[in-house]
Structure 1
């Protein structure tokens, strides 16, 4: 186990969340703003370089300073690049699984997978599905059937008094319950719809 330096942050303990996209950062910022009773304050982190190795390094670095670090990762790009990799070359999915296996042994780090992306987590507020999604666009198309005004822009996610988190908060317990129905991520069936967000809300003391 790594030795952690004393956390210099005052007040509530903080959880650093490493994400690879703005969508997750917007959502987490709104969650942080609208959940004053959460046990943690959330600090979204988007690495300057979004490669898997850079995200992995960022998680390890933050784990030295924070009580809890979450690596929240979308699988859509990883699976797309894995499908396209030439025979004999390393597969991005294998690289990710190697990093995940290492981090699973670090006590203050949690890896949370959304397959294909954050929109699948939002979709679970309205329906339960384990259907495979080839990419995020397909999950977004399914989401819009329920959340008809959905637009993947910052203004929609962060609108004062009508932020994405507030829009869905009433359905949050349902969505959390649905993610608990999933087994652990299955590398043999990586395309299957999956979300581990209940782990995140458990860390925050909100589930």
Structure 2
């Protein structure tokens, strides 16, 4: 049933994209490969805000409205895709950090 609802949503151009523990893990993969187990979003944001990354990052609507993350990260997209694809997902471990966002970008890049 879950798969069929995802397919139906896909046909309506709604995507369900998993990132654990948070979307910020996908952003972090633009800068570094890591398969570290982060306990929560705050731990990922701490890594993301390190020097040379997204130092002023905030998880807020205001931040996303004022900053075009795609423009900031598009040169690193290929690295992020490769990093995300390389992570082994342990489905029995709820603390495994991973992101499936790359699948959407791969599909969009194929359509070009």
Query: Equivalent of 1:128, from 27, 33, 38?
Result: 33
- Superposed, 1:58-207 pairs within 5 Å as 60=5, 63=8, 66=11, 69-72=14-17, 113-145=18-50, 146-159=53-66, 162-183=67-88, 185-205=89-109
How far apart, CA to CA, are the structure 2 residues paired with 1:154 and 1:141? Answer: 19
For normalisation by structure 2, the TM-score amounts to 0.79
Q: Matched residue pairs, number?
A: 108
Compare the two structures and name the one with the higher helix fraction.
2
Compare the two structures and name the one with the higher strand fraction.
1
Q: Is the 8 A contact 2:6 2:16 kept in 1?
A: no
How far apart, CA to CA, are the structure 2 residues paired with 1:174 and 1:193? Answer: 17
Q: In 2 relative to 1, CA 193–147 (structure 1 residues): closer, same or farther, beyond 3 Å? A: same
- Superposed, 1:26-65 pairs within 5 Å as 60=5, 63=8
How far apart, CA to CA, are the structure 2 residues paired with 1:123 and 1:181? Answer: 14
Q: Which runs of 5+ in 2 are unaligned?
A: none
Which deviations, in whole Å up to 9, do the C-alpha atoms of 1:30-52 show, x marking residues without a partner?
A: xxxxxxxxxxxxxxxxxxxxxxx
Q: Is the 8 A contact 1:130 1:193 kept in 2?
A: yes
Q: Is the 8 A contact 1:179 1:198 kept in 2?
A: yes
Q: Which runs of 5+ in 1 are unaligned?
A: 1-55, 73-112
How far apart, CA to CA, are the structure 1 residues paired with 2:65 and 2:7? Answer: 26
Report the RMSD for the aligned CA atoms in angstroms.
Answer: 2.7
